[in-house]
Amino acid sequence: MAKDESGNYKVDEVKKADASVKTMADFTSPDILYKELIDSVKKYHPSTDISMIEKAYHIADDAHKGQLRKSGEPYIIHPLCVAIILADLELDKESIVAGLLHDVVEDTVMTPEEIKEEFGEEVEVIVDGVTKLTQLSYKVDKVEEQAENLRKMFLAMAKDIRVIMVKLADRLHNMRTLKYMKPEKQKEKARETMEIYAPIAHRLGISKIKVELDDLSLKYLEPEVYYELVEKIALRKSEREQFVQCIVKDVREQMDKAGIKAEIDGRAKHFFSIYKKMVNQEKTLDQIYDLFAVRIIVDTVKDCYAALGIIHEMYKPIPGRFKDYIAMPKQNMYQSLHTTLIGPNGQPFEIQIRTFEMHRTAEYGIAAHWKYKEAANGVKPAAQQEEEKLSWLRQILEWQRDMSDNREFMGLLKSDLDLFAESVYCFTPAGDVKNLPNGSTPIDFAYSIHSAVGNKMVGARVNGKLVNIDYVIQNGDRIEIITSQNSKGPSRDWLKIVKSTQAKNKINQWFKNELKDDNIIKGKELMSAYCKAKGIPLNDILKNEFMETVMRKYGFRDWDSILAAIGHGGLKEGQVVNKLMEGYEKKKKKELTDEKLVESVVEHAQDIEHRSSKNHSAIVVKGLHDLAVRYSKCCSPVPGDEIVGFVTRGRGVSIHRTDCINIINLSAEERARLIDAEWQKAESENPNERFPAEIKIYVNNRTGVLVDISKILTEMKIDLTGVNSRTNKQGKATITMSFDVHSKEELNSIIAKIRQVESVIDIERSTG
């Protein structure tokens, strides 16, 4: 790529390079990546037994053989890269193995039971959790679906936090290779990453992953902004590096004089953090001065504060820009001293001071606590001792139990995951530190202690003085809450005052619980009045089948909760009634008698929408040629099969094989809707006409059996339209395949050839 005079890549060339598609020769071979993985694992745990990792690699390689990614590279490259990311986080052996196997259940014939048998329950739980998360969608325009899927994600995280760590590594590699996807898919994945995965990485304290996810998301969501940042920052690179080197040199000299052993380096701030600063402060890039930070890493906490004193003697600190995250850590475990100073040329810059252990936690977050720990009975991960580090996850799980309203849950969750929310630190009368959102009041503080304290609160003292309940807490304040058993509970006005999601949730819960009966009555009255005004028969639409659909739609567990939500304004009565009406009207349309339906179909055959020749020209039904017909998916009839027609409700005639289990099991009443049908010979011999077929293949499960069967279909020029498999505990697998054929004769030929494949026990056609 071309460079400018400063030796930096030109932005237009960067864009071109990003858009290029690699050839196979450009890809790193799986063997080289596997060696890199093993070298990385041995580096942080030299004595580990790699046999389990080696076995997982070979199984994954065999399972994914023949599969390619959108980039054209062998699929095994992806799980290898995911495992390397996990090794870079220095995770345990089980996490590495799960990273290698995370796609085998979804994309191959391997089952969770087989993973458990080969690698143990821990690995199976992680792989199963990642598989389920992969199947979820988090579309930002579908709040109900997004909320329900996020609930499932947090439950999976609670089961084993390594599930989300593997998923984050999976998402990071997918984001690194996002350029091979279509533009609309790029934006969808980038937005999902920015709104879901990057905030979770932040909450877990894994900055190594979080910052890269942020930057990659920005690249696809705001490409013009991203490349402008790349270009402008690159132009000032030489000047910046010279300034940083000067600062590092001066600081190192002073640390050496003071006898403080320290590692000192400078780094540019990440593009996304610069972008957010520009947006939040409404400034251009030229108006942002602290584009880089100097980091000092020392041995002890005592050295941190000693280094801070030296720095403040060397440079003038900017008032109000000092943060002590050592004394008061962030909720994601981050600890460091931050101070912003005026440099030699008047340019502001930031210095961060922390210990080596704090630095590890800052980079790896919760992953730092999965490092190996030697014990008498072998190597064990130490994360079980870090439960207190995940208090925020327990808080979210508590919300899940308490809240049935998906929209409210999403609002609280997005607020809680806010990456850029500032914190304020205050103290209880006993001297314990409380970390609250900036702008919090004594009410927020009270609910952070316990919901009972908040609900009975009548006043507060700050630093020994009475204050109003809307007082804004400052760093270092000592808060004392005054309660009374005679308190009637919180006021709705408090919701306008509080800042923390925790306080808002607990206040709302109080009103819902205390006033639920009143809200249910009010909800019933509102629905009744709405139906009366619209002339809608309320008793007819309040049927269980319609009500269950509405409860699923809005994420409520029972009908009383729907009524209560209408009563307190969380749902509009019109929304609920209209949804009930949809189900009611659909059912009414289906209430034609069988006799009228048959008569209607025959008499008005000319008026029924004709299907394409592919779908009906090969069939004659009772001598009628203009009748709308469709082939049943349950038994997939093809020319040569004995067939029968079944008059459906509103969709013409459905064609089945006579041996279809659904036809055999018809009741006497339903059999009245059967019509004679036969293949029209001249039409069914059309060589261009294809018909869907489905077969079940019973095999002794072995690696490569699916590939061998697929090769036969490829050789016969048969295109697969679907494939699925499941394996039982005895090692027997059932593979279900769908494809299009010309006739029963061609289908029989396919079945005969597949029978010759090693490990095939039996084959049968699907019969419903």
Query: Could you say which of 54, 62, 107, 363 is catalytic?
Result: 107
Could you give the CA distance from residue 387 to residue 333 in angstroms, rounded to a whole number?
A: 12
Could you give the CA distance from residue 647 to residue 649 in angstroms, rounded to a whole number?
A: 7
Query: Could you say which of 12, 31, 106, 470 is catalytic?
Result: 106
In terms of Cβ atoms closer than 10 Å to its own Cβ (0-12, 13-18, 19+), residue 196 is buried
594 half-sphere exposure, CB direction, 13 A CA radius: 11
* Alpha helices, H only, 619-694: 661-664, 668-671, 681-684
Concerning whether 107 is annotated as a catalytic residue, the answer is: yes
DSSP state of 607: G
CA-based Rg of the chain, rounded to a whole angstrom? 33
Those residues whose C-beta lies under 8 Å from the C-beta of residue 579, and which sit 6 or more positions away, are 546, 549, 550, 553
Output the CA torsion sign for 388, 390, 396, 402. negative
Q: CA angle 41-47-53, nearest 5°? A: 45
How many residues in total does the chain contain?
Answer: 768
Closest CA to 201 of 213, 185, 219: 213
The owner of tokens 């469709």 is 630
CA 437 from centroid of its chain's CA atoms: 26
Residues 373/381, Cβ–Cβ less than 8 Å: yes
Q: Is 164 helix (H, G, I), strand (E, B) or coil?
A: helix
Q: CA angle 449-455-457, nearest 5°? A: 80
**Element holding 427 (H helix, E strand):** strand 423-427
What string of H, E and C letters represents the secondary structure of 558-586?
A: CHHHHHHHHHCCCCCHHHHHHHHHHHHHH
Closest CA to 180 of 105, 77, 276: 77
Concerning whether 106 is annotated as a catalytic residue, the answer is: yes
Could you give the CA distance from residue 7 to residue 23 in angstroms, rounded to a whole number?
A: 27
CA 209 from centroid of its chain's CA atoms: 15
Task: Catalogue the active-site residues.
Answer: 106-107
